[in-house]
Structure 1
Amino acid sequence: MNQGRLGHANQRGAVLLVALVMLLLLTIIGIAAMRDTNLQEKMAGNMRDHSLAFQAAEAGLRFAEQEIKDDYDTLINDATYPINDETPDVVTFTAFTGDVAAKPTYTVTRLPHPGPLDMQDMINPETAGGGSLAAGESLIFDFVLVRIESTGTGMSADSKVTLRSLYFVEE
């Protein structure tokens, strides 16, 4: 006769306990997913900031190269571009319009002149498309060698990139 009494009095809350454990597991998984998403968002922001700094530094580098190419006579005679052992002036690329913390800057340093370049000695006629250079006079180029260093920042002042190039200016 006791078989019909499976009502509320015999239940001990096992379903409630299982449901609470499942909710706890879902909460832990949700929190872990949110932390992962936040970390990925920070990494993407840092990558964007670094990319902006790199682009700003490259813009400063290209601007300095073009300025040297256009203003070659000033390069040779002006103290703005010092010889290797002097401290070069830091120039700000004021025309840069990117959304960064600071405008890119660059320095130009003339390196000691190594003398004329003899292209005859530098080019192997067999691998350079035939012996046309070997048949005539050697080509001698006189040039000025400069080192350009450009520094760019991203949207954060903490993100900085410095690029360096060597640039030949033919006389």
Structure 2
Amino acid sequence: MSTINKVAIVTGSAGGLGKAIALRLAHNGFSVMIHDINKDALTKTLQEFKDKGYDSDAFVGDVSKKSDQEKLVQTTVEKFGRLDVFVNNAGIEAVTPFIDIEEDELKKCFDINVFGTVFGTQAAAKQFIKQHSKGKIINACSIAGQESYTMLGTYSATKHAVWSLNMFQALYKIPGQQY
């Protein structure tokens, strides 16, 4: 493990792909703020990081709430002194057939997958500008962002939006982000 004095946030990192991303960053010497809405799973994951000797902390929050994303970045900077990488990983799948999806499920999927990505990107970019440094924003997408699948119509629509946000960030150079 090397010491590189970089700080990363990974949303939705109490388990699955987010946890794997956070573990790799920590293994590579990053200080990592792990994040999830599931407090119990997050507490267990944080203990695993601490047991490995990783410089880490945890933040319980809801990516679909702009104020939670702003507080996540603020808390990370208070704890570690800066922010270098923000990984928008949190997401949910909707596997209900398109014809049957209910309003609440549709809203929840867009709130987390799309609005969460927007709010995380905004919070990170504002911090990069504030600290006068460039940083990286990584938006986890899915092959469903490139193609649509019969049982994943709504999920595919949200991931198409995330893919489009990735293209927007690359084409229009969000201030403070390194390319």
Fold shared by both chains (TM-score > 0.5): no
Larger radius of gyration: 1
Higher relative contact order (CA 8 A, sep 6+): 1
The TM-score, its normalising length taken from structure 2, stands at 0.21
Looking at secondary structure, tell me which structure has more helix per residue. Answer: 2
